[in-house]
Amino acid sequence: MIVRSWPARALLALMSLALWLAPGPSLAADVDLPAPQTEGGMGLFEALKKRSSVPGGDFSLAEVTLGELSTVLWAASGLNRGQTGWTVPMAEGLAPYVRIYVAGQEGTFRYDWGGHRLVEVSGENIKARIGGPAFIRKAFYVLVLTTDREILGQLVRGGKDRQDEFAQVLAGAMTQDIYLAAAALSLGTRYIHSMNVEAVKSALGLGPDDYPIALMLLGK
Ligand SMILES: Cc1cc2nc3c(=O)[nH]c(=O)nc-3n(C[C@H](O)[C@H](O)[C@H](O)COP(=O)(O)O)c2cc1C
């Protein structure tokens, strides 16, 4: 079609410019988390007294807010002293070598502690296909802790067994921080070991040497 009138040609030119300027596939699905709560709130000793696992699937349908999720993730492996100090102790000063994935209704994300944000892994709600007890689907979020072999590989001595031991020690510290933060925020949580490991690996796109260590349910 040949367009001869100048207003029509101007309109077409404007439309092409708009298409050219339009953003391509975006990272809009990544989520910048609000600042975590780092002051006030319940005292440590009260949180220790309240720490417990929520029985089975004893969750309501109430939403865990992004602010609450932000605080729980920060407690689990956020920066607390500049760029190389974390809420949990890391061997040999390495960066966190256990990753946290967040599985929720709106998709699956990896926690990026450096940017304190969620990076989209997929738009899929994977809660129903990661195995384990059926009640995990009732949790608003399921946090999945996995090894990060790329960082574990930087440990100076020892092979894969030592890397696995270190990852499990770190997962223990992280899950206890999650328990305490959840108690302080009056959220329910529960450590879950039983899951379909292969299904989780595939849902998260883990490398062949990485594996999920634990699930932490989070809900109200
Ligand atoms: C290493 C470990 C593995 C666990 N695995 C499961 C599990 O697969 N399923 C489950 O329902 N609870 C699991 N739990 C939660 C425990 O059953 C729970 O912590 C225990 O009943 C003690 O309750 P409390 O945390 O309220 O003190 C696990 C806890 C730990 C520490």
Say if 78 falls within a structural domain: yes
Domain that holds residue 209: 27-219
Q: What H or E segment, with its residue span, contains residue 13?
A: helix 6-21
3-state class (DSSP) for residue 53:
coil
Of 193, 200, 213, 216, the residue with max ligand 1 atoms within 8 A of its CB, to mutate for a pocket test, comes to 193
Residue 99: give its domain's CATH number. Answer: 3.40.109.10
213 CB near ligand 1 (under 6 Å): no
193 CB near ligand 1 (under 6 Å): yes
Number of separate domains in the chain: 1
Q: pLDDT by residue for the chain (220 residues), tens digit each?
A: 444 455 555 554 544 444 444 443 333 489 999 999 999 999 999 999 999 999 988 999 899 999 999 999 999 999 999 999 999 999 999 999 999 999 999 999 999 999 999 999 999 999 999 999 999 999 999 999 999 999 999 998 889 999 999 999 999 999 999 999 999 999 999 999 999 999 999 999 999 999 999 999 999 9
Say if 21 falls within a structural domain: no
Say if 58 falls within a structural domain: yes
Say if 2 falls within a structural domain: no
* CA 196/CA 173 separation, integer angstroms: 23
Phi and psi at 146, nearest 5°, equal -130, 160
| C-alpha distance from residue 156 to each of 89, 163, 170 (Å) | 17, 10, 17
Residues 6+ apart with CB under 8 A from 50: 42, 183, 184
- In this structure, the residue with its CA closest to atom 18 of ligand 1 is 53
* CA 137/CA 125 separation, integer angstroms: 10
Say if 203 falls within a structural domain: yes
Atom number of ligand 1 nearest to Cα 190: 15
pTM of the model: 0.88
